[in-house]
Amino acid sequence: MVKPRLLTPGPVAVPERVARAMTRPIIHHRSSEFVELFKGIRADLQYAFQTQQEVCILACSGTGAMEAALCNLLSPRDRVVVVRGGKFGDRWAELCTTFGVDPICIDVEWGRAVDPADVRKAFDHHPDAKGLLVQASETSTGVFHPVRALAQVVHMQPDRLLIVDAISAVAVHELRMDEWGIDALISASQKALSLPPGLGFVALSSLAQAALSRSRLPKYYFDLARVLETQRRNQTPFTPPISLLYGLAESLKMIVEEGIDRRVQRHEVMARVVRGALSAMGLELLVNDSHSFACTAVRVPDGIDGKVVQRRILEDHGIRLAGGQGRLKGKILRMGHLGDLDVLDMIAAISAIETALAALGYPVKLGEGVRAATELNHELGFRGDSA
Amino acid sequence: MVKPRLLTPGPVAVPERVARAMTRPIIHHRSSEFVELFKGIRADLQYAFQTQQEVCILACSGTGAMEAALCNLLSPRDRVVVVRGGKFGDRWAELCTTFGVDPICIDVEWGRAVDPADVRKAFDHHPDAKGLLVQASETSTGVFHPVRALAQVVHMQPDRLLIVDAISAVAVHELRMDEWGIDALISASQKALSLPPGLGFVALSSLAQAALSRSRLPKYYFDLARVLETQRRNQTPFTPPISLLYGLAESLKMIVEEGIDRRVQRHEVMARVVRGALSAMGLELLVNDSHSFACTAVRVPDGIDGKVVQRRILEDHGIRLAGGQGRLKGKILRMGHLGDLDVLDMIAAISAIETALAALGYPVKLGEGVRAATELNHELGFRGDSA
């Protein structure tokens, strides 16, 4: 028997108790039971998003939530600075072009974090720019962009907006939206919330909420002013995905139980253990400076086909990793460590990667990876409730 | 014990086997397992939609699918004829206004079907109109608009498009998209497909597909040309709602097993039994001419508060009906009979309504409703596999 293990950076495995919650009988969304369910979700979402603001819940994928943020906060011919350092940075630029917003792109090498000084320069050259579009965690490379420092640059001018795709960063990284000055914090269900895909989220600062009425881009399904107004009455403008909301309530309960700080710490430890182990195996990490706690990208050794390694790990060990996207296709493997996973899951995966590489003739010293991982875990001292 | 029964015209109860399918472990959407799953879904969706065309699958509610059809087929300042005879007709008009499309509204009394002659007149007055926006089943009133006759009127001019919100009509009514000339057939998961909300669908005729490239409204998340191109490779542009797709595969399997003609017949029998029973109780139906097989609206008797009846039926008998929407709030009750329900479910509900009305002092002759329903069911001769 080979047990299937999904270790891609989204979608992720859904915990049993969340999966079970989703099978509860469907209720009508204009009922008092729905109001009770929704009230609890709204409060727990604020905790998970580390904000006092209302978190808009949308029935869509993460891209839908990105589009919603853009179409509600900007207008045609607005200029915005865009950090383009991966596939999802590209997506911001494409969204701008599609909706007639003018993107000033800062092209960052895939695998590097943006330098806040470059963002400052872009704003100096374009003082009319309305804000910054960036990823917190760029899932295609495993980079974490320095959101806090970027917030300072953006808010050197009072009305500029910081719009952050934190799809794989919410409930993974520390992101103090209110304190740091993030104006739109975007996420989705299939990452650290450990739900199936199908829900998108956008939290808006007071500054962003004030900007809603100025935006001249048309929106109906994604009208966030309407979403905000409706949610405050514990309702949604359109029929909400009830079963996913059941799951969301349960998964948020798990986040509350774990505690957000501890949860961030767990993700950090997983990321550090994985990085240490891969390095100990002699593999080269894609990201050296500012790495995401959501996933780790490792370069495929020269002379080895990324697809072949990936398939070997899947077929022999049941572990599904992700490959590279866009220009990194075939060149990297990405291992997700977000959601309902712990360090021991990482160590098991490292063992599988070692074995698969050895089987393919790569000169790996079997056991170096898992030894390094075990040592690191011991050193970092993260051990569930006894810590 | 009072067993909860959801009899609203969407969302609907999810059959056990569908709910169970949705708990299967999440797979990655770029895997061969996904391709297999998706291939089967695509084929069975064509069967359920009674079309040879590809059915676009979107992660959104029904309104998102309506918006997608509009934004992909029309352009700013285009003129379209809109049938406005209920809350969802209003929605078409609102969507038009939001996206700069000019709606020529035919206002139809709520509870009446549109007269195709009026649509013809509207096109005669506005020969430049690009098409017609209409509901097949107007869920807020329980009217079925004469789609087939409307198709003939629309296609008196070759390039005009018939865009049909069939959210509560697909897999309920006969809708021969290809044969009749429906250009966009829109639906959603939480109606006759017996799934939780969260999936929207748009099937496009060849004429509509040719119109995609002419549309000048911006779209990214809802870009149907991209959806079509991606689906043909058994992929989706963005992370799809995996658990809902598991459920969809299972629920489509149930439709294939039942057979679409027999399924339509079952819905027709449920509608006729419910209408006959309510009339026998001395209640007044909202719709007299062209009624939907998805739901039945009945007027609340004078001197009785609709909300009170609704609550009594819910609290004493566990049956959730829907009330009126918009201008019909408090004036009608709506009973859904779509999805995984049969005539006996209807008879149970009729009995509950009789009892609740009697308890509230309405002069109902107890038992007249269920007697009429039983007689009608006998007469119509619909009895599962032995028929």
B143 interfaces chain A, CB cutoff of 8 Å: no
- Helices vs. strands in chain A: H and E counts, helices first: 14, 14
pLDDT at A384 over 80: no
Q: Which of B12, B60, B13, B84 is nearest to B326 (CA)?
A: B84
B8: closest chain A residue by CA: A28
Options 3.50.50.60, 1.25.60.10, 3.30.70.20, 3.90.1150.10; CATH for B5-10+260-386 is 3.90.1150.10
- Mean pLDDT throughout A89-112? 98
| Whole-angstrom distance, CA of residue B36 vs CA of residue A216 | 42
Residue with tokens 């009770």: A36
In the predicted model, what is the mean pLDDT of chain B?
96
- pLDDT of B82: 99
Is A320–B31 a contact, with Cβ atoms under 8 angstroms apart? yes
| Whole-angstrom distance, CA of residue A245 vs CA of residue B241 | 13
B18 interfaces chain A, CB cutoff of 8 Å: no
In the predicted model, what is the mean pLDDT of chain A?
96
CATH placement of domain A5-10+259-386: 3.90.1150.10
pLDDT digits (tens, 9 = 90+) for A3-48: 999 999 999 999 999 999 999 999 999 999 999 999 999 999 999 9
DSSP state for residue A182 in the 8-state scheme? -
CATH 3.40.640.10 fits A16-258, yes or no: yes
Q: B202 - beta bridge partners?
A: B56, B186
Query: Closest to A218 (Cβ–Cβ): which among B20, B100, B221?
Result: B100
| Whole-angstrom distance, CA of residue B86 vs CA of residue B287 | 12
| Whole-angstrom distance, CA of residue A109 vs CA of residue A111 | 6
Query: Closest to A26 (Cβ–Cβ): which among B13, B238, B240?
Result: B13
Report the gap between the CA of B63 and the closest CA in chain A (Å). 7
Q: Which ipTM was obtained for this model?
A: 0.94
Residue percentage of chain A with pLDDT more than 70:
99
Sheet strands (E) in chain A? 5-6, 55-59, 79-84, 102-107, 131-135, 137-138, 143-144, 161-165, 184-188, 199-204, 295-299, 319-320, 322-323, 332-336
Out of A125-139, A238-252, A343-357, B370-384, least confident range: B370-384
B75 vs A contacts (CB less than 8 Å): none
A19 interfaces chain B, CB cutoff of 8 Å: yes
Query: Closest to B28 (Cβ–Cβ): which among A8, A19, A188?
Result: A8
Nearby residues of B315 by Cβ (< 8 Å), 6 or more positions away: B2
Q: Which two tokens stand for residue A15?
A: 């915990």
Categorize the per-residue pLDDT at B384 as very low, low, confident or very high, splitting at 50, 70 and 90: low
pLDDT at A386 over 70: no
Q: Which of A89, A115, A117 is nearest to A104 (CA)?
A: A89
H helices of chain B, in order, are 16-21, 32-48, 62-73, 87-98, 116-125, 147-154, 177-180, 206-211, 224-231, 242-258, 260-280, 306-317, 343-359, 368-380
| Whole-angstrom distance, CA of residue A95 vs CA of residue A69 | 11
pLDDT digits (tens, 9 = 90+) for A311-350: 999 999 999 999 999 989 989 999 999 988 999 999 999 9
Buried b / exposed e over A162-194, threshold 16 CB at 10 Å, is bbbbbbbbbbbbebebeebbbbbbbbbbbbbbb
Query: Closest to A238 (Cβ–Cβ): which among B31, B63, B100?
Result: B63
- pLDDT of B302: 87
Is A25–B11 a contact, with Cβ atoms under 8 angstroms apart? no
| Whole-angstrom distance, CA of residue A212 vs CA of residue A108 | 30
Q: Which two tokens stand for residue A225?
A: 């002013």
Hey, which residues 230-259 in chain B have their CB within 8 Å of chain A?
237-244
C-alpha atoms less than 13 angstroms from C-alpha of B242 in its C-beta half-sphere? 26
A139 interfaces chain B, CB cutoff of 8 Å: no
Q: A297 - beta bridge partners?
A: A334
The dihedral formed by the CA atoms of B302, B304, B306 and B308, expressed in degrees to the nearest 10? 180
Cα B103 to the center of its chain, rounded Å: 22
pLDDT at B282 over 60: yes
Residue with tokens 């994604």: A222
H or E element that contains B298 = strand B295-299
Is B25–A4 a contact, with Cβ atoms under 8 angstroms apart? yes
A9 interfaces chain B, CB cutoff of 8 Å: no
| Whole-angstrom distance, CA of residue A360 vs CA of residue A352 | 12
A220 vs B contacts (CB less than 8 Å): 63, 67, 94-95, 98-99
- Mean pLDDT throughout A198-216? 98
Q: Are B166 and B194 spatial neighbours (Cβ–Cβ below 8 Å)?
A: no
- pLDDT of A387: 43
Is B196–A30 a contact, with Cβ atoms under 8 angstroms apart? no
Q: Which two tokens stand for residue B74?
A: 């029309």
B22 interfaces chain A, CB cutoff of 8 Å: yes
Residues of chain B with CATH 3.90.1150.10: 5-10+260-386
| Whole-angstrom distance, CA of residue B198 vs CA of residue B193 | 12
Residues of chain A with CATH 3.90.1150.10: 5-10+259-386
pLDDT digits (tens, 9 = 90+) for B214-268: 999 999 999 999 999 999 999 999 999 999 999 999 999 999 999 999 999 999 9
Is B244–A10 a contact, with Cβ atoms under 8 angstroms apart? no
pLDDT at B387 over 60: no
Is B63–A220 a contact, with Cβ atoms under 8 angstroms apart? yes
- Mean pLDDT throughout B284-312? 94
* Planar angle of CA B374, B380, B383, nearest 5 degrees: 80
Categorize the per-residue pLDDT at B289 as very low, low, confident or very high, splitting at 50, 70 and 90: confident
Residues of chain A with CATH 3.40.640.10: 16-258
State the angle between helix axes of A147-154 and A116-125 in degrees (0 to 180), rounded to the nearest 10. Answer: 20
Q: Which two tokens stand for residue B126?
A: 């506005």
B28 interfaces chain A, CB cutoff of 8 Å: yes
pLDDT digits (tens, 9 = 90+) for B135-173: 999 999 999 999 999 999 999 999 999 999 999 999 999
pLDDT at A263 over 50: yes
